[in-house]
Amino acid sequence: MAGVLSIVATPIGNLEDITLRALRVLREADVIAAEDTRRTIKLLNHYGIAKPLLSLHDHNERTRSPWLLERLARGERVALVSDAGTPTVSDPGVRLIAEAGRRGIKVEAVPGASAVLAALASSGLPADRFVFAGFPPRGSKDLTDWLEELKPESATVVFFEAPHRIKRTLARAAEIWGEREVSVGRELTKAFEELVKGPISDVLKHLGEPRGEYTVVVGGASRGARHVPALPPSSEVLQEFWRITECATMGRREALRQLAATYGSTPKQIYTLIEEAKKLGRKT
């Protein structure tokens, strides 16, 4: 009889945030597949659990999965854990779980702590519908495309971000999405937990020195965003652009940003209006 693959949620910070069922499953497992064995051993030692540990991460999941599947086929119990929270949520394990399902091996979820749900619940933003978007892309163009794709989303958006990229990502989000309400959680459930809420521009001012992993919750386009006024005719935007760049010591890029902030738009939209007005002017 085939064994059982248990997907076990572990604490995201506070070690008390683990269920009795999760502790039992870990004690009964024949082997524990962990994203980082150094992190998992601290949890196991805390609860006096001594079980064989095997690393399973993004770089070795393809080669390790067949060996674990063989053990499951022999009737053994395998517990899958990530560094923190629920496995497969921006963490490895999808390949192993999918193949176990195809082979008819029982897969069970052992729910528990989740940074996504913890941040969403404490944000004060609508939680009846939300989109989890994982980690934003690192490249500047890819980040812009990612934000543009999510811009019309009416549901609340939740994503993770690294400390050295959080300010850049929020600043770019403000340019593309406008001044939406946001809740930024740092080190959730840990000793230095911090929640900063408000319009994106205000949150950026009070974010402090970035450290730890961030979970960001942003209001959706129709429910969390502030009212966006209708844009004026392109000819008026062009005249205002000329006035700013000619009468003030301001470059083109800075002028686009100022107009975008004035009209509740994005620099890209303002640029498009200006180019349209120039084309119309040449035709007339």
Q: What is the pLDDT of residues 189-232, one digit of tens each?
A: 988 899 999 999 999 988 888 888 899 999 998 654 444 456 77
Model confidence at 172, pLDDT cuts 50, 70, 90, reads very high
Say which residue, 228 or 33, is predicted with more confidence: 33
Strands 194-199 vs 181-186: parallel, antiparallel or unpaired: antiparallel
Say which residue, 216 or 253, is predicted with more confidence: 216
Tell me the two tokens of residue 105: 């091996």
pLDDT at 258 over 90: no
Model confidence at 5, pLDDT cuts 50, 70, 90, reads very high
Q: Which of 23-37, 77-91, 269-283 has the highest mean pLDDT?
A: 23-37
Contact status, residue 78 vs residue 8, Cβ threshold 8 Å: no
Q: Report, as an integer, the average pLDDT of 10-32.
A: 96
Tell me the two tokens of residue 222: 């129709």
Whole-model pTM: value is 0.73
Contact status, residue 101 vs residue 107, Cβ threshold 8 Å: yes
What rounded mean pLDDT belongs to the chain? 89
The rounded percent of the chain whose pLDDT value lies above 90 is 67
Confidence (pLDDT) at 222: 64
Confidence (pLDDT) at 282: 67
Say which residue, 262 or 201, is predicted with more confidence: 201
Q: Report, as an integer, the average pLDDT of 30-48.
A: 96
